[in-house]
């Protein structure tokens, strides 16, 4: 019998390889733009016709190529960027495989014009289906221009698979965004069918984000900046209140290379904690800088997946970075309480030290070593941090610029008596607390405020396992079905941390021997049912989410309700504790806790219009 195995001709092999790298016009756009960046260009123009199906042109002012290189760049595995295997772990360029141009040339008509700065003339090459059709010397300014025409002209099957011009254009814009975002010092433009879609001037990252997503981003962004031993994270996140209902602006880069990473994405979502409603997504534009030897990008031709050597470290640093950004933001709204000097009983201790302003601590544990953790606990970064969530108790007024030259000692009864007589707080409709601040009126929703306070308290207890319990004189039975019983068992450790003392009496019954001391007066069985219900709805494998879920349910259930009368001292406590929370603005369900009505707004309401 004859041998049946034949080597494929180069042209066919190239077409097959091209399929992996160039799936649609947007892939060619990405490769060409990345090449221009790698060539050190400071200005890159992208022009497309019919969403890139008819033509893609990329013009750069980068280093250009010699005549020989101009011919060679279309060969497979022709690259100037690596030469040996070790180089794969020191990659600082966007490209390195030497596959892109060979792939594009295999399936399109390519015209290349290129000139190095040191050369007097440039080289023009026309390559069609991997065959050089023309070559000549031409006058041109330094840099490189690639014109790609009739993509997939020789692979009709692929051409037919392309989507509508609108859909293909969306892909192009997305690639353009990814490439331009983390290179703000480079100018870019995108022209589609003769219309300018983007003109991005060189600038900083914030200006680039605004150039791409609109000037209204100016006030929406929070800077993120965190440097640890082997990783640096910089960029912007979008403030929680601008979270979107769709996964919109979520951009992760590693060494400026766009990546997708569900695990690291989770680090960010968790850092926003309860500030974003469940069905909304936070926006971010973050670059993670690591040593190239700490990542392996040689995984997939389209290269949006990256393997980190130590992904848990990056998770922890990322989580901390975003927490810090959010924490600093939440300190910034200036609320100047007009609290009489003699009410500042809690300032004494803090004012005697030299710490006028307490910023939230950066929650990085220098001893953190992901490899020494148990599998569960290192996914749960909450555990890995020391008490970073410890809010500065009671000295929140210092944060808001209150005077610190107050007498140090107050007897508690004296202060309380005064606070009672002072009528600083007024309850409205038994549901809101009204008080004055320098800039106007502060109106707080008592239920939401208390929910926030308890929520943070329970989170701490879940971390520290130090919930206080109260013994039940007559233990009640909590009976569930077999399915729920196994869920209950999953919840037992967390419930124990909060102060529940539960004992399984038989496969489906738990005896409630003790309850959290906060829950006095509440029906323990109803509370457990609620926790179990919510746990079932939001079921998740992640320890951290589980804790959030339980803390939220407990807080909502046990917080004082609307229509509850409060005395002056109770109101004062709520206000004090609210502003000692890590997040004071929003309740765990994302609702606003308070509003400030400014003096100006108030005055306007009294203005008579003639
Ligand atoms: P890679 O980028 O992986 O090296 P490519 O096929 O994309 O592979 O490009 C091959 C080579 O052609 C590059 O290594 C580079 O030397 C050269 N090249 C491509 N585009 C440009 C450009 N715009 N300016 C200068 N050189 C370029
Ligand atoms: Mg390349």
For a mutational test of ligand 1's pocket, the pick from 43, 69, 73, i.e. the residue with the most ligand atoms closer than 8 A to its C-beta, is 73
For a mutational test of ligand 1's pocket, the pick from 30, 33, 38, 302, i.e. the residue with the most ligand atoms closer than 8 A to its C-beta, is 38
Closest ligand to the CA of 34: 2
Instruction: Look at residue 554 in the predicted model and tell me its pLDDT.
Output: 92
Rg (CA), the chain: 31
Tell the burial category of 237 from Cβ atoms under 10 Å away from its Cβ (0-12, 13-18, 19+).
buried
Nearest ligand 1 atom to alpha carbon 63: 25
Identify the residue with better confidence: 198 or 414.
Answer: 198
Identify the residue with better confidence: 32 or 394.
Answer: 32
Nearest ligand 1 atom to alpha carbon 58: 23
Is pLDDT of 8 > 90?
A: no
Question: Per-residue pLDDT tens for 18-50?
Answer: 777 788 999 999 999 999 999 999 999 999 999
Nearest ligand 1 atom to alpha carbon 79: 14
The mean pLDDT value of the chain amounts to 81
Mean pLDDT of 101-106: 92
Question: Per-residue pLDDT tens for 571-607?
Answer: 999 998 998 888 888 888 878 899 988 888 888 888 8
Is pLDDT of 343 > 90?
A: no
Identify the residue with better confidence: 29 or 16.
Answer: 29
Range with the lowest mean pLDDT among 313-317, 325-329, 381-385?
381-385
For a mutational test of ligand 1's pocket, the pick from 70, 95, 103, i.e. the residue with the most ligand atoms closer than 8 A to its C-beta, is 95
For the ranges 147-151, 211-215, 470-474, the one whose mean pLDDT is highest? 147-151
Question: Per-residue pLDDT tens for 421-454?
Answer: 456 899 999 999 999 887 788 999 999 999 999 9
| Gap from CA of 251 to ligand 1 centroid (Å) | 25
Is pLDDT of 224 > 50?
A: yes
For the ranges 354-358, 402-406, 458-462, the one whose mean pLDDT is highest? 458-462
Is pLDDT of 417 > 50?
A: no
Q: Is the backbone of residue 277 left (phi > 0), alpha (psi -120 to 50) or beta?
A: beta
| Gap from CA of 81 to ligand 2 centroid (Å) | 9
Is pLDDT of 207 > 80?
A: yes
The C-alpha atoms of residue 347 and residue 50 are separated, in whole angstroms, by 67
Picking from 208, 209, 231, the residue whose alpha carbon sits closest to that of residue 220 is 209
Closest ligand to the CA of 105: 1
Is pLDDT of 524 > 60?
A: yes
Beta strands per DSSP E along 64-163? 109-115, 122-128, 131-138, 143-149
Tell the burial category of 19 from Cβ atoms under 10 Å away from its Cβ (0-12, 13-18, 19+).
middle
Q: Residue 479: pLDDT band by 50, 70, 90 thresholds? A: very high
Range with the lowest mean pLDDT among 240-249, 312-321, 429-438, 548-557?
240-249
Instruction: Look at residue 406 in the predicted model and tell me its pLDDT.
Output: 35
Instruction: Look at residue 386 in the predicted model and tell me its pLDDT.
Output: 34
Beta strands per DSSP E along 156-290? 187-192, 195-200, 221-227, 231-238, 250-254, 257-259, 284-290
Is pLDDT of 260 > 60?
A: yes
The C-alpha atoms of residue 321 and residue 319 are separated, in whole angstroms, by 5
Residue nearest to atom 1 of ligand 1 (CA): 98
Is pLDDT of 375 > 60?
A: no
Q: Please report which helix (H) or strand (E) contains residue 478, including its range.
A: strand 469-479
Instruction: Look at residue 330 in the predicted model and tell me its pLDDT.
Output: 63
Question: Per-residue pLDDT tens for 401-412?
Answer: 333 333 333 444
| Gap from CA of 185 to ligand 1 centroid (Å) | 21
For helices 165-181 and 205-213, the axis angle rounded to 10 degrees is 170
Q: How does strand 187-192 pair with strand 143-149?
A: unpaired
Question: Within 10 Å of residue 242's Cβ, how many Cβ atoms?
Answer: 17
Is pLDDT of 383 > 50?
A: no
Question: Per-residue pLDDT tens for 122-151?
Answer: 999 999 988 999 999 999 999 999 999 999
- The sheet with strand 509-516 has its strands ordered as 469-479, 509-516, 501-506
Question: Per-residue pLDDT tens for 506-521?
Answer: 999 999 999 999 888 8
Range with the lowest mean pLDDT among 13-22, 29-38, 227-236, 548-557?
13-22
**Percentage of the chain lying above the pLDDT 70 cut:** 80
Mean pLDDT of 543-562: 84
60, 41 Cβ separation under 8 angstroms: yes
Instruction: Look at residue 6 in the predicted model and tell me its pLDDT.
Output: 76
Q: Residue 279: pLDDT band by 50, 70, 90 thresholds? A: confident
Instruction: Look at residue 151 in the predicted model and tell me its pLDDT.
Output: 93
| Gap from CA of 89 to ligand 2 centroid (Å) | 17
**Percentage of the chain lying above the pLDDT 90 cut:** 44
């Amino acid at each position: 019998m004859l041998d049946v195995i034949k080597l494929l001709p180069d042209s066919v092999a190239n077409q097959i390889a091209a399929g992996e790298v160039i799936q649609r016009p947007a892939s060619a756009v990405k490769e060409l733009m990345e090449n221009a960046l790698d060539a050190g260009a400071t200005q890159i123009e992208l022009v497309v016709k019919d969403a890139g199906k008819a033509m893609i042109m990329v013009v750069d002012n980068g280093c250009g190529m010699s005549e020989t290189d101009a011919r060679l760049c279309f060969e497979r595995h022709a690259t100037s960027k690596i030469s040996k295997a070790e180089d794969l772990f020191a990659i600082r360029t966007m490209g390195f495989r030497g596959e892109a141009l060979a792939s594009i040339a295999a399936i399109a008509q390519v015209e290349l014009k290129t000139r190095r700065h040191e050369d007097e003339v440039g080289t023009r090459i026309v390559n069609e289906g991997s065959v050089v059709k023309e070559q000549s010397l031409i006058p041109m300014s330094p840099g490189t221009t690639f014109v790609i025409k009739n993509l997939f002209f020789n692979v009709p099957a692929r051409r037919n698979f392309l989507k509508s011009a609108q859909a293909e254009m969306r892909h192009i814009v997305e690639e353009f965004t990814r490439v331009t975002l983390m290179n703000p010092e480079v100018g870019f433009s995108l022209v589609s069918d003769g219309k300018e879609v983007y003109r991005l001037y060189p600038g900083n990252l914030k200006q680039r984000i605004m150039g791409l997503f609109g000037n209204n981003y100016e006030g929406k962004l929070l800077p993120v900046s965190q440097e640890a031993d082997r990783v640096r994270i910089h960029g912007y996140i979008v403030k929680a209140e601008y979270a979107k209902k769709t996964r919109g602006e979520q951009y992760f880069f590693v060494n400026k290379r766009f990546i997708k990473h569900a695990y690291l994405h989770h680090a960010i979502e968790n850092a926003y904690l309860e500030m974003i409603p469940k069905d909304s997504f936070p926006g971010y534009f973050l670059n993670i800088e690591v040593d190239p030897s700490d990542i392996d990008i040689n995984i997939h031709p389209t290269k949006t997946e990256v393997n980190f050597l130590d992904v848990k470290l990056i998770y922890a640093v990322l989580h901390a970075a975003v927490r810090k950004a959010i924490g600093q933001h939440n300190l910034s709204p200036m609320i100047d309480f007009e609290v009489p000097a003699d009410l500042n009983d809690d300032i004494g201790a803090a004012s005697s030290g030299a710490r006028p302003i307490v910023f939230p601590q950066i929650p990085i544990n220098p001893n953190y070593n992901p490899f020494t953790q148990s599998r569960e606990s290192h996914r749960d970064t909450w555990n890995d941090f020391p008490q970073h969530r410890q809010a500065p108790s009671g000295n929140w007024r210092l944060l808001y610029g209150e005077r610190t030259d107050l007498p140090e000692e107050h007897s508690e009864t004296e202060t309380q008596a005064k606070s009672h007589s002072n009528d600083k707080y007024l309850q409205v409709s038994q549901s809101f607390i009204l008080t004055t601040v320098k800039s106007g009126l502060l109106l707080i929703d008592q239920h939401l405020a208390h929910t926030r306070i308890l929520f943070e308290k329970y989170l701490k207890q879940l971390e520290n396992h130090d919930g206080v319990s109260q013994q039940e004189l007559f233990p009640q039975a909590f009976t569930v079905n077999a399915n729920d019983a196994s869920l209950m068992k999953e919840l037992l450790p967390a419930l124990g941390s909060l102060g529940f003392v539960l004992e399984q009496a038989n496969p489906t019954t738990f005896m409630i021997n003790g309850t959290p001391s906060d829950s006095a007066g509440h029906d323990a069985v109803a509370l457990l049912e609620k926790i179990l219900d919510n746990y079932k709805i939001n079921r998740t494998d992640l320890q951290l989410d589980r804790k959030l879920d339980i803390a939220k349910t407990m807080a909502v259930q046990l917080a004082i309700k609307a229509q509850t009368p409060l005395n002056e001292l109770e109101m004062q406590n709520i206000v004090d504790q609210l502003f000692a929370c890590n997040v004071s603005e929003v309740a765990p369900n994302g609702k606003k806790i308070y509003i400030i009505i400014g003096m100006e707004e108030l005055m306007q309401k009294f203005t008579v219009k003639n």
